[in-house]
Amino acid sequence: MKRLLIMIVRFYQRYISPLKPPTCRFEPTCSTYFIQALERHGLLKGFFLGLRRVVRCNPLSKGGYDPVPEEFSFKLRRR
């Protein structure tokens, strides 16, 4: 299942993302972050981290450098 999600995100990166203007406010991009989170933390924790990042990526967010954490935590980071 983890591989399937990674394939879906890579499909998005390759075929859908180039068709629209860049909007991600973070580095690495949300799609790259999602893949890294899945690879580092597994399906459930990685999906949670990736989804949380996508939800935070909006016009009201400051954005900036936000790497995948080494250790998983359910605590929300305050900026």
Position 48 in a domain: yes
Mean pLDDT over the full length of the chain: 92
Position 74 in a domain: no
| Range of the structural domain that residue 40 is part of | 1-10+24-60
Residue type, 70: E
Position 35 in a domain: yes
State the total domains in the chain. 1
Write the pLDDT tens digit of every residue in 43-69. Answer: 999 999 999 999 999 999 899 999 999
3-state secondary structure the chain: CHHHHHHHHHHHHHHHHHHCCCCCCEECCHHHHHHHHHHHHHHHHHHHHHHHHHHHCCCCCCCEECCCCCCCCCCCCCC
pTM: 0.88
Position 69 in a domain: no
Position 29 in a domain: yes
Position 39 in a domain: yes
